[in-house]
Amino acid sequence: MKLPKNFISCDWGTSNFRLRWVDTDTLDVLCEHTTDMGTKKRFQQFKSQSEMKQDQFFAAYLKEQLKALNIAEDNDTIIVASGMLSSSIGMKELSYAPMPFSFDGMDLSSEFIPFDSMPNVLLVSGVCSKSDVMRGEEIQAVGLAEELAHHESGTLLLPGTHSKHIRFEKGTFKDFTTFMTGELFEIISRHSILSASLEPAQWKASFQNIFLEGVEKGLANQCMPSLFSIRANTLLNDSPGHDNYFYLSGLLIGAEITNLQRRDETVFLAASGIYNTLYKLALASFLPTDKIICFEERILEKALLKGQKKILETYAE
């Protein structure tokens, strides 16, 4: 198979779906289409019907959404799909590739799936260690490998619903740990007794001190005994809801990164927007500035596409 001039990037996560028509050489996005039809919702729809098999049901949605890209039919077009599409709630479950894996992505698992009525799919699986799993983040890691290669070792930090800390050394991703930081924040802020004490707000510099107070408690392994203090402060001291909101964020992020303060290594932060702001502040509370490297937005935007291209190149002649 020759490397196509363009490919279709499919990033199908648990909650969202995204297609991008990509120039293979430059990785410029020529057009894009997104929906909120994550694999979880699509799988629920699959379970409620009996006419189609699971792979057919997911392929049918993928085929329909391809129309939104409005691209000409081309026999050489390939869909490179990563994320939850290779999971048990996706199109076809693929086994995880074991850790460690190299920067070039050659150790990752993938499967070429031909179709008659739409472009063929190159389905990429996830990665597992002895005690952890991930699907999707490993492709981002491979896409960032070129930037990481300038350093002997370190930890790549990918914040999110399920944050990943991926340790690397000498061109190899060695191990990783998952932290349910984003999901815990969502559960606590929406469905716990603390929800009445929290008020979402746009970030302002005036929230920095209260956020760092939370970080300090989290770093000191005081997250659990500090949680209910949010409720108590509201009742006893009328603590503002937006202050509590960022204090909780600091608590959870501090608890997540506590192990990093015990390692003398560089942390590479792959985050944008509010994640970049908060994690950078939290890391800077105990790491010197030369030990924190934040990737520019332009690098993060192409990380997944770079990773997918590397997988595609393993199938090229």
Rg over CA atoms, the chain: 21
Residue 77, pLDDT score:
87
User: Global pTM?
Assistant: 0.93
**pLDDT tens digit at each of 317 positions of the chain:** 678 999 999 999 999 999 999 999 999 999 999 999 999 999 999 999 999 999 999 999 999 999 999 887 666 789 999 999 999 999 999 999 999 999 999 999 999 999 988 899 999 999 999 999 999 999 999 999 999 999 999 999 999 999 999 999 999 999 999 999 999 999 999 999 999 999 999 999 999 999 999 999 999 999 999 999 999 999 999 999 999 999 999 999 999 999 999 888 999 999 999 999 999 999 999 999 999 999 999 999 999 999 999 999 988 75
Length of the chain equals 317
CA torsion 249-250-256-258 (nearest 10°) is: -170
Residues 6+ apart with CB under 8 A from 171: 102, 103, 145, 149
Is residue 154 within 8 Å of 136, Cβ to Cβ?
Answer: no
Single out the residue of 288, 264, 257 nearest to residue 164, CA to CA: 257
Contacts 24+ apart (CB under 8 A), 58-64: 58/85, 58/90, 58/91, 59/91, 59/115, 59/118, 59/121, 61/37, 62/10, 62/91, 62/118, 62/121, 63/117, 63/118
Q: How far, in Å, CA of 283 to CA of 166, rounded?
A: 16
Would you call the peptide bond into 100 cis, given omega within 30 degrees of 0 as the criterion? yes
Give the model's pLDDT for residue 61: 97
Would you state the pLDDT for residue 69? 93
Neighbours of 236 (CB within 10 A): 9
pLDDT of residue 317: 55
Q: Which amino acid is at 80?
A: V
Measured CA to CA, the distance from residue 212 to residue 244 in angstroms comes to: 12
Cβ atoms of 198 and 230 within 8 Å: the answer is yes
